[in-house]
Amino acid sequence: MRIKPLQPDLDNDAARRLSKVANEPEQVWDKELFIRLAFAESAKAGCEVLFRYYYQVLCNHATRFVYSRELAEDIVSEVFCRMWRTQAYASIRTSYRFYLFRAVRNEAYNYLRLEIQGHEEISWAEISNDPIPDSVVQFDELIGLIDTILETSSPQCRRAFMLNRFEGKKYREIADEMGVSIKTVEAHVSKALHMLRKGLRSYWPS
């Protein structure tokens, strides 16, 4: 699933006011204030600002859990879509940043758990309805375990996997960069995935 940035529906005066705020020194106008001013103009404007500020950094965050840039983008897109569809933005009492990072983390955590437990097809409803982790400690433990598992692989295997899953490069690009065949890259990535799935089964027994 992919979503396009929402286009703010602003009149000229509103656009000028927000533009003026955006150009003020950062120490005076922080992101949260700018976001709230945007939502005061319209829901579309607020969501557009949220998307611009946080989409890329949220994708980077989700990639640490699901070891796939493409899947991370799907997860972040789903979080934004659901927030817009359910109008959750109207009831956020924490910072918008905290809300989005927590939502993405929970979505990624539950997706990975279901995938490791052998669910062949995973729906967004299934992910969203699953219980969330008890605390941020569980997220830190999971990240640490993933890093530990990857560290046990060979440098070439780890590099191929990181280039493919974290940087989103195609096998051909990785092969050219590493000076190996495409088949070798495929083997490295497949081996790393196998190691991760095997290692994480102890964290999430079926």
Tell me: pLDDT of 122 over 60.
Answer: no
Mean pLDDT score, 5-14: 45
Q: What is the pLDDT of residues 134-186, one digit of tens each?
A: 555 676 777 788 888 888 889 999 899 888 877 778 899 999 999 999 999 99
When pLDDT is averaged across residues 186-190 and rounded to a whole number, the result is: 92
- Interatomic CA distance for residues 22 and 74, integer angstroms: 28
Is the separation of the CB atoms in 169 and 163 below 8 Å?
Answer: yes
For residue 158, give the amino acid letter.
R
Which of 48, 43, 144 has the alpha carbon at shortest distance from 88?
43
- Domains, the chain, in order of start with CATH, read 1-132 (no CATH), 133-206 (1.10.10.10)
| Residue 17 reports pLDDT greater than 60 | no
Banded model confidence at residue 8, pLDDT cuts 50, 70, 90: very low
What is the C-alpha to C-alpha distance for residues 144 and 103, in angstroms, rounded to an integer?
20
pLDDT value of residue 25: 41
Taking only Cα atoms into account, the Rg of the chain, rounded to an integer number of angstroms, comes to 20
Mean pLDDT of the 95-124 span:
75
The pLDDT value given to residue 118:
60
Q: What is the pLDDT of residue 113?
A: 77
CA 91/CA 1 separation, integer angstroms: 25
Residues 141/98, Cβ–Cβ less than 8 Å: no
Q: Please give the model's pTM, rounded to 2 decimal places.
A: 0.64
pLDDT tens digits for range 19-69: 444 444 443 347 888 888 888 889 999 999 999 999 999 998 888 778 788
pLDDT bucket at 109, cuts 50 / 70 / 90: confident
